[in-house]
Structure 1
Amino acid sequence: MTSPQSAVLTFPDVESLADLGTYVARAKGLDPDGAMRLQAVGEVLAAWTCAVPGQGLMRSGLVLALRTMPLAGAHELDVTVPLGGLSDRFARRSATGETGTSLPVPPTTVSPQWAGVTPPRGGWEPVGEVSTEALHAAAEQGIAEIAQGAPEGAGSAAVAMLRARVWAREIEGGAAAGAGLAVKVLGFARAGDGQVARVFRSGAWTRVSLPAGHVLTR
């Protein structure tokens, strides 16, 4: 871990900042020891987190989630920080009744392997569509399958292999089941809302896109 110079993200309104807080809380529920990569360019923040870390040097089975939100004024930032550090800041805001639109970025950074893997910016071709019902169903089935197949006392390597196999499974529209996990847990869509996500592919990557965010798998 390192401690970079302090940085501050400034949002156009309290609602946009609260949106990031909700996203952080949901990501922490998925992985309490997880991290979030904050990439700010100009007036846009791209907030990345990992739903499934993948395996091997190529991080096969990796599932990344991305939400973008507006910023006020020009920013330039690319750091990966613990979710715990971010959630502490939001908890402090809540406890003190803070209503400002600026968020100090935690000074402690981390270097999870997934943060060094950057999906392609271009070359995305549409390959299909997947309903939010199918995404939620895949998530629920996968969670149940992992719970049943990884009983208490199971080795971490065996559990990791099981998770990778379950979440890499292809579902409707060419999406991976792991995309369903991210959509469900991170709140990108609700079951039964009638939404349909578009599915794109670029090389080894697949992207499931909804208005609330994107899930990228490889």
Structure 2
Amino acid sequence: MTVPRLVFADFGEAAGLAAFLGRLLRWEKGAAVRLQAGDSVLGVFARPARFEVLAVVTARLLEPVELDATVSAGELLEGVDEASESVRVPAAVTGPSWAGLLPPRGGWQARAELRPGTVREAATGVIAEFRERTDRLAPEERTRATLDDLAEEIWRRQLNGTGLPLRAVHAAHALGFLRDESAPVALYGTGPWLRLRTAYGSVIARGGDGGRAAGAGLSVTPV
């Protein structure tokens, strides 16, 4: 069933969705997102290029809706109407492989409460270390393969022994999920999945394998 427009229940949700989509499109102009709505909650799932994790933002809807579709992130952004707190749902597209392999909805258990400042410092530390080590390379050594290997070495590390790879922390920072240093940050887990949840969205990665989400294989260059 086609759902032409979704209306949000809370003020500011349209702007939040627009900000998320804008940051996502910065990394990949042709990005797609999967929309899932059940009852009165909308989930927007994405796999930001290079980070090899899943990102999700949720919002309450004014009325119950059943929806499951993969759409263009750019077209969805064009359909956001902040004045009416709504978004027009574009036509479905053939989704990438990751869109069919989402983590489970239930079964998540709290693992740890994290200090927002510590998480943000870890993200900025990733960026600073990558830039510093890149600057030490001779120009002829700065190949894509070398930079990807360097990024992977840094991103495979864990956040303070939590099992959460730093690629997930960096993605949360890049997507604006860590912009409020006073907002709570928590870590949840279910099976092989780990979820960094903030007030603005979540980043999900697999633990124990460097944090690569299903279908990984994109180049990884922190910026």
Q: Distance in 1 between matches of 2:3 and 2:142?
A: 42
SS of the residue 1:118 aligns to: coil
Q: What is the aligned partner in structure 2 of residue 35 from structure 1?
A: 32
Q: Distance in 2 between matches of 1:48 and 1:210?
A: 15
The one-character-per-residue Cα deviations of 1:115-138 (angstroms, maximum 9, x if unpaired) are: 122212333333323322232233
Cα distance in 1, alignment partners of residues 70 and 149 from structure 2: 26
2:204 corresponds to 1:207? no
Instruction: State the distance in 2 between where 1:52 and 1:169 align.
Output: 19
Which sections of structure 1, spanning at least 5 residues, go unmatched? 55-61
Aligned residues: 199
Per the TM alignment, residue 46 of structure 1 is displaced from its structure 2 partner at its CA by 0.7
Greater strand fraction, Structure 1 or Structure 2: 1
- Alpha-carbon distance between aligned partners in 2 of 1:7 and 1:138, rounded to the nearest angstrom: 41
SS at match of 1:72: coil
Q: Which residue of 2 aligns with 1:71?
A: 61
| Residue in structure 1 matched with residue 107 of structure 2 by the alignment | 123
Q: Does 34-43 or 100-109 show the bigger shift? A: 100-109
Q: Which amino acid aligns with 2:116?
A: T
1 CA distance for matches of 2:39 and 2:188?
26
Is 1:12 equivalent to 2:9 in the alignment?
yes
Q: Provide the secondary structure at the position in 1 that maps to 2:66.
A: strand
The 2-side partners of 1:187 and 1:121 are apart by 23
What is the TM-score of this pair, normalised by structure 2?
0.73
Q: 1:187 aligns with which of 176, 191, 198?
A: 176
Kindly indicate whether the alpha-carbon contact (under 8 Å) linking 2:27 and 2:49 is maintained by their aligned counterparts in 1.
Answer: no
Gaps of 5+ in 2: 207-223
The match for 1:134 among 107, 118, 133 is: 118
Given candidates 38, 44, 57, the residue that maps to 1:47 is: 44
| C-alpha separation in 2, matches of 1:123 and 1:203 | 9
Q: CA RMSD in A?
A: 3.0
